[in-house]
Chains A and B, each alone.
Chain A
C-alpha cells in the first residue's frame, strides 16, 4: 500500500531522502513537495561558482523536471507551507494549497542571520542563501562600485571572492582577529587573509559594524571606530539560524532547531525532519555531509528499518575559492594529552597542523597544500592508532606513508652533493660542505656568513645543522645558539631583522613566515614579538593585549595576594597639594591598605582590589594624574634633584629638564624598563650615574651618561658626551632611547644592549658622531610617541577598554 509523504522544503537534504527512498523502496511512497523557492532542487553549495562565473545555474541542478515526472513527484514550486494541522494531518501553503499526509518530512533548512544594526533593512542589504540572492548580487556587480561583505566566514569569503572576480571593489568586515576562526587556527587564518588581500580584497579584521547608512538605499557602512566605507551593496554573511518556526507553531518540540531522535523523528512520530533545521543531541549542522547521512537514515526509518540510527560525526571544511587551498577537519583545539605536529613552508605559503590524542589523529588544518586532506580526514574518522614510525612522517601525507621512516641525518647524508639546501639563495649541499671544510666552520652562524644558506627565510636551518653535525660529529652543538625560546630556531636578532625585512606585521605573520614550531607561541616569545612588532611598526601594528604580562595588560603591578599597586606619574618627582589631597581621598574611598614613597620619587598605593582599579584611576585622572607605568617594560621614572631653581650649588634647571624628558618619553614601550635621572651638579643627588640614561648638569652644559644599573647588578654609567644646550641634551637622550628600542632584545636593559653592540664607544659612533643618524632616530622616536601617549588609565576608567578585566562573572541560576 502506498503511503502519502509530504515534504516541506526542497533543499539538498530532502532531495537525498527521496533519492534513497526511490532506490530502496520504489513505489512505497506517493510524494508531494512544497518549495518556497520557485524552482527545482539544485546544489546550493555550488552557488559560489555561479556567482564567480565559473558555473551556470543549469550546471548545478540536482533534479530536473524530468526526474519529478519519472518518480511521480508533485512539486508545488513557489508555495510556502504556512501551517501544519497535526490533528487532521494536513499542511497548507501561502497560496492556499492543502495536502493531506501519512508522513510529513520537514526540511525547511535555515535562515541567514541579519544583524539588526541601523540600516539593515535598506534596499541593497543582501543575504547569501539562494539563487535569488546570487542574481541580486550579479545585478549589482554589473553596475560596479563597492561591495561590503559583513562576515569573514566560509560564505562571506566565497561571496567576496566571487564579487571581486565580477569586477567589484570588495571590503570584508570581520569581527574576530582572524578569518574563519571557527574552522581555522590563527596561523591558517593569517595565510588566508594574506592570499585574499593579495587579490585586492580589502580585509578588515577586528572590525565591528555600527550602522549601514544611505538615503533610500545602501550608501555605506560605518564601523564602531567611526571608519566609513562606501558601498553599493552590503552582503551579510554572519551566520544562519535553523528555520524551525513552522514546526514550533505546530507544537513540535523545538530548541534551537527541531528536535529529532536518532531516526530523525520529531516529537510527533508521524513527522520526520532532516537538514539544517534539525537539532540532534545539541548539534545543528551547516554542512552537507552530516545532512546527507541524516537523509539516508531518514529514508531507512521511513521504511521501518529499526537498525537505522544517526550518530554525530566530525565534519570537514573546504573553501571554494579557486586557487585557495584550505582544509580543516575534526577537533584541532589544544587539550589534555594532545600534541601537535606543525609543518610550515614559508616560501611556498604552506601550513599544516595535525593534532593527536592518545596516538590517534583527531584534527587537521591544512593550508596551501590540501591533497592529503581526505586521507587525514579518513584517519580521523577511523581513529586508528598511529605508531611512532608512522608519526614521524605523518605530516608529509599519504605518499610518504608506508615508506621507510626517515632518520633526518641519514636522509641528509643520502642527498647528492648538488641537492639544493637553501632555496632562497640557491645553495647546494656540496657548497655548504666545502665551505665548512675550507673555512673550518663550526656553527650555523659561520655557515650563514660564508654561504648565505639559512640566512633568509631560515626554513633550511634544520638541514644546515644536520650537515654541520654530519661533518663535525660530536664537535657540533646545535644548542649553542640562543633562540628566542623553544618555539623557534631564530635568535632575537634574526627575528627583529626579519620582521622589518619581510614586513611582518602581526604575530601570526611572524610565526608563519619564520616557521614557528608551535601554533601560538608561549609566554616567552609572545611578549617579545608583541614588543618587536610595536617598535617596528608604530601606528600600524595593533597591540595584542593577550600577549602581554598581566601588569601591562591591566596597567598596574600585581602583588603576592592578587591585589594591585597603583603608581601615578609625578613628573620629575614633583607633586602638588591638590594631587596629594586627591591621593589621600582615593586611599580613604577605596580603603587602600598601604601608601608608600617609592625609591623612584613617587607615591605607590598598594593592595588595591582589581575591581576597584577603574574607580581609583578615574579619581586620580580627575585630579590630573596619569599612569606612571611602574608596571611596564617602558619608561618608568625620571628622578630629579631640585637644581639651580633652589639649590645653592645647582648649575642648571635639573628639575625642569627631568620633567621635559619625562613628558617627551612617557608611554614609550621599550625592551626592558628604562629609568632616567637628572642631577643639577656633580654631587649627583638624583643618582643619575646608575640609571639607564642619566644627565649630570655642569656649568658648561649637560653630561650625558648611559648604561648604568643598580639592581641585580650595580654598574656606574659610561660618559657618552657633553652638550651645551638643553635641546641637545633632550635630542641625545631620545636618540639613545630610540636606538635601544630598535635594537634591544626583549628583557635586555640598556647596559646589556650597550655591552652587546660594542660598548659606549659604539653608541658614541652611532649617535654622537653620526649626526644624521641621531636626528633620524629622534624623528622616529617622536613619530612613534604620537601613538603611545594616551593615558591607559583614562581609557580603562571610561569603561570602553577591557571592561571584562575588572568585572567578575556571575552565575546565571
Chain B
C-alpha cells in the first residue's frame, strides 16, 4: 500500500510519551542497534545507533531541531536523511518511523526471520 518492501513490516514500539521530548530511546532487533528520537514538535525518527565516524551511540546525543549531535566527537546528523552535516561526510541508516493516531510510535523494520 505504501510501497513497503515485502520483507518489511511496521512494529508497534511504545507510547510517544515513553520518549522524552528532545530525547531518545534505544532498541535492538536481530543484532541491529536502533535509536528512536523525538523532536521538540513530537516528530519521531529512527536511525542506526552507530555514528559513521567511530561508532558513537547517537541515542546519547543532544537533539536539536531535526538533528542530533554525536556524543563522542560532535558530528551532527540530519535525523530524517541520516546524512552527516557541515564539513563531515557520512551516512547512517534510517528507518521509517511515525506516530499513529493513538499516540503509539511505529517503526518499519525487516520482519523477524
Measuring CB to CB, which residues of chain A are less than 8 angstroms from any residue of chain B?
Answer: 176-177, 181-182, 185-186, 256, 279, 282-284, 332-338, 518-523, 526-527, 545-551, 553-554, 558, 560-562, 804, 808-813
7 contacts between A and B (CB under 8 A): A185-B40, A336-B80, A337-B81, A546-B63, A553-B60, A808-B27, A811-B11
A521 vs B64: C-alpha distance when bound (angstroms):
6
If A522-B64, A546-B63, A558-B60 touch, whether A336 touches B78 (CB-CB below 8 Å) is yes
If A333-B41, A336-B81 touch, whether A177 touches B21 (CB-CB below 8 Å) is yes
Contact status B20-A546, CB under 8 Å: yes
Contact status B66-A518, CB under 8 Å: no
What B residues does A333 contact at CB under 8 A? 39, 41-43, 66
> How far does the Cβ of B33 sit from chain A's closest Cβ, in whole Å?
9
What A residues does B112 contact at CB under 8 A? 813
If A334-B39, A520-B40 touch, whether A804 touches B20 (CB-CB below 8 Å) is yes
Contact status B81-A519, CB under 8 Å: no
> How far does the Cβ of A474 sit from chain B's closest Cβ, in whole Å?
27
Pick the contact of A519: B11, B21, B40, B74 (CB < 8 A).
B40
Residue-by-residue, is B18-36 near A (CB-CB < 8 Å gives 1, otherwise 0)?
1111110111110000001
Contact status A809-B62, CB under 8 Å: no
A282 vs B18: C-alpha distance when bound (angstroms):
22
> How far does the Cβ of B106 sit from chain A's closest Cβ, in whole Å?
10
What A residues does B14 contact at CB under 8 A? 809
What B residues does A279 contact at CB under 8 A? 101
Instruction: Say what secondary structure dominates the interface of chain B.
Output: loop
A773 vs B54: C-alpha distance when bound (angstroms):
49
> How far does the Cβ of B80 sit from chain A's closest Cβ, in whole Å?
3
Measuring CB to CB, which residues of chain B are less than 8 angstroms from any residue of chain A?
Answer: 11-14, 18-23, 25-29, 36, 39-43, 54-57, 60-66, 69, 71-72, 74, 76, 78, 80-81, 100-102, 107, 109, 112
Contact status B26-A809, CB under 8 Å: yes
> How far does the Cβ of B32 sit from chain A's closest Cβ, in whole Å?
11
Contact status B26-A256, CB under 8 Å: no
Contact status A811-B66, CB under 8 Å: no
Contact status A812-B66, CB under 8 Å: no
What A residues does B71 contact at CB under 8 A? 549-551, 558
Contact status B13-A812, CB under 8 Å: yes
Contact status A520-B101, CB under 8 Å: no
Contact status A282-B20, CB under 8 Å: no
A548 vs B71: C-alpha distance when bound (angstroms):
11
What B residues does A256 contact at CB under 8 A? 101-102
Contact status B22-A546, CB under 8 Å: yes
User: What residue in chain A is nearest B12 (Cβ atoms)?
Assistant: A812
Contact status B41-A185, CB under 8 Å: yes
User: What residue in chain A is nearest B69 (Cβ atoms)?
Assistant: A523
What A residues does B57 contact at CB under 8 A? 558, 562
Contact status B65-A334, CB under 8 Å: yes
A367 vs B14: C-alpha distance when bound (angstroms):
33
A283 vs B29: C-alpha distance when bound (angstroms):
29
What B residues does A520 contact at CB under 8 A? 22, 40, 64-65
A185 vs B65: C-alpha distance when bound (angstroms):
11
Pick the contact of B41: A332, A553, A809 (CB < 8 A).
A332
A396 vs B59: C-alpha distance when bound (angstroms):
38
A182 vs B54: C-alpha distance when bound (angstroms):
37
Contact status A518-B65, CB under 8 Å: yes
What B residues does A550 contact at CB under 8 A? 60-62, 71
Contact status B62-A549, CB under 8 Å: yes
If A520-B40, A813-B112 touch, whether A338 touches B13 (CB-CB below 8 Å) is no
Closest 4 CB pairs of A and B: A336-B80, A334-B66, A523-B69, A546-B22
What B residues does A519 contact at CB under 8 A? 40, 65
Contact status A527-B62, CB under 8 Å: yes
